[in-house]
Structures are given as C-alpha cells and as structure tokens.
Amino acid sequence: MKGYEFLVDTPIKLELTGKFKAPTSEWMHLSRYLMDYELIVLTSGTLYIAGDKHRYTVNVGEYLLLPPLTNQYGYKSSDCSFYWLHFSYKNDITVRDNSNDSSAYEVGKIVIPQQGTLKSVERIIVMMKQLQDSVRGYNEKTLNDYMSTVILCEVYNQLFFSQNNPNKKSKQEQLYNDIVDHIRWRHYENTKVSQIADHFGYNEKYLSHLFTKLSGLSLKQYILHQKMEVAKSILSDTNHSVSEIAFQLGYKDCHNFMKSFKKIVGLTPSEFRNAYSKRLLYYE
C-alpha cells in the first residue's frame, strides 16, 4: 500500500484543524485542489471522497491521508462527521510502497499508509480535541505544531505496532486479540467476565489468568478501562450530559460511572471535558 514518509525530528506545520459535521444527509464534499496534506478521521457515518482519479470510502474508525496538489472532491452523498487536520511539511513528498513492512521502522521517521483502520480511534479523537482546544486557548505556533506531529506519530504507532509484530502470533495471543475485539464492539453493553468466558467456551478463571499474563490487566479491569476510553471520546466529541453518557455505556447509576471515571482517569467527567472544551466545528 502507498504511504507517505515524514521525518519527525522537527515538527510538521499545522495549517488548520477542526471537526466537520454534514449539515444534511445529502451533503457532498466540495471540489478543490489541496495545497497541503489533509488527515481525515471518521467519527460517524461514511465519507465518499475522491482524490484525483481514485475513489475512497472511509468508515467510522478509519482515516484517510491525502497529499498536496490532490484534486479532492465528493462523488456521493455523505451523511457523516469527521475530524480533519491540514498540515504542511518542510520536505518534498516522499511516497513509500509496502508501508506496513516492519523493516521500514526507523527512529525519527514515520510512514503513514494513505488509508487505514485505527486501533483506537478514541485516542485520536481526544488528541484532536486537545489540539483544537490549544488552537483556541493559546494559538501558540510551536505548541500546535508539536501537538499535530504527536497526532501523526500516534496514527503511525497504532498501525505499526499492531500490524508489524515480528513474532508469529500464538494461539493464546490470537485468543487475546479476539477477546479485545469482542470487548471493543460491546463497550456500550454491561459486559461481564463470565459472559466473555461463555462466548469463547473457556473457563472463566483460565481466561482471566491468560488475559492478565498478556496484558498486565485483569479482564475485569480491561473492560472498565475500555469503557473509560470510550467515555473520554464521547466527552470530547459530544455535548451529551454525564448521565446520558453513563446510560450509553451500560451504567444504571450515574454515580458509579463518575466514581469509576475519577478512579481511572484522575479527573471527574466534567473536569475532563472542561479541560479541553474549545472544539472547532465546521459545517461547510
């Protein structure tokens, strides 16, 4: 797959950033020539966008990276929302093939495939929101450039370290990954360890021991941590009340949710939201 190479010993230059929400279900991306790089991270719906002669379909949890001088346009109605980041880079465009090859890793250099699925889109959402808050709160060039660079590095790390493990996955590791995926798809449910054990057909005690050995967290703790990652994303990305978020995540008692969030994150849900409150929202 084609990827773009960046040296990150010095920061990229932030041009613009924000969150876009389609005003209607009939919205189509405007037609233009990009003057810089654009990173798009989908948070809802599906985006149908073309770059030159190639048509892309970008779904929730996926990203798309387009280079300068791309003829960008929508080719189909897209009822969606996404975070976007425009940035420039001091060097010429360097295109790499086989960008998922583990041998490509070099200190101070990242290679980001043109399109991919993020391991944790929630982390990216929170980081993009933090960048937007920085732009509105400080608008200090050096800080914003470095924060933008960190976002690119996070995208790269999520792809590289999840897809390029040089060790062949064992049966236990595959089971662990299956459990992780199972939990992520059900983070809105009140999932219990016993339910996961029943689903995969293993003894509950054995499964908990295996998970702790491979992750360093007990299965129960991991379920809770994943819920809090999703909670941080919702707090950053929406105006839903804390009680609404608690209900979305399967909590019957808002106080139990707030207690768990404070214990894991170190802030109350309101404190976390207020720390990065200045979202940049666009409708064009």
Q: What is the pLDDT of residue 278?
A: 72
Most confident segment among 144-148, 166-170, 215-219: 144-148
Q: What is the pLDDT of residue 120?
A: 87
Q: What is the pLDDT of residue 26?
A: 95
Q: What is the pLDDT of residue 200?
A: 87
Q: What is the pLDDT of residue 103?
A: 46
CA distance 118 to 131: 19
Q: What is the pLDDT of residue 282?
A: 61
Work out the number of other CB atoms within 10 angstroms of the CB of residue 248. 16
Q: DSSP characters for 141-195?
A: HHHHHHHHHHHHHHHHHHHHHHH--SSPPPHHHHHHHHHHHHHHHTTTS---HHH
- pLDDT tens, position by position, 96-113: 875 555 445 677 899 999
CA distance 186 to 230: 11
Band the pLDDT of 186: cuts 50, 70, 90: confident
Choose among 24, 23, 8, 16: nearest CA to 40.
16
| Helix (H) or strand (E) segment spanning residue 279 | none
Alpha carbon separation from 62 to 26, 50, 130, 158, 256 (Å, rounded): 21, 15, 20, 12, 32
CA distance 138 to 133: 8
Report which of residues 242 and 275 the model is more confident about: 242
- Whether the per-residue pLDDT at 76 is higher than 60: the answer is yes
Cβ-based neighbours of 192, under 8 Å, separated by 6 or more: none
Alpha helices in the chain (DSSP H): 121-137, 141-163, 171-185, 193-200, 204-215, 219-237, 242-248, 254-265, 269-275
CA distance 187 to 226: 7
CA distance 159 to 61: 12
Phi, psi of 226 (to 5 degrees): -65, -40
Choose among 42, 36, 40: nearest CA to 80.
42
Q: What is the pTM (predicted TM-score) of this model?
A: 0.72
Tokens at residue 224, please?
């809770």
Nearest-5° Cα angle at 194, 192 to 196: 75
CA distance 6 to 150: 12
Q: Are 42 and 124 in contact (CB under 8 A)?
A: no
Its sign, for the CA torsion 102, 85, 143, 68, is positive
Q: Are 37 and 155 in contact (CB under 8 A)?
A: no
Cβ-based neighbours of 167, under 8 Å, separated by 6 or more: none
Over residues 198-211, the mean pLDDT reads 87
Q: Which domains does the chain have, with CATH numbers?
A: 3-163 (2.60.120.10), 171-275 (1.10.10.60)
Pairing of strands 54-59, 3-7: unpaired
- Whether the per-residue pLDDT at 168 is higher than 60: the answer is no
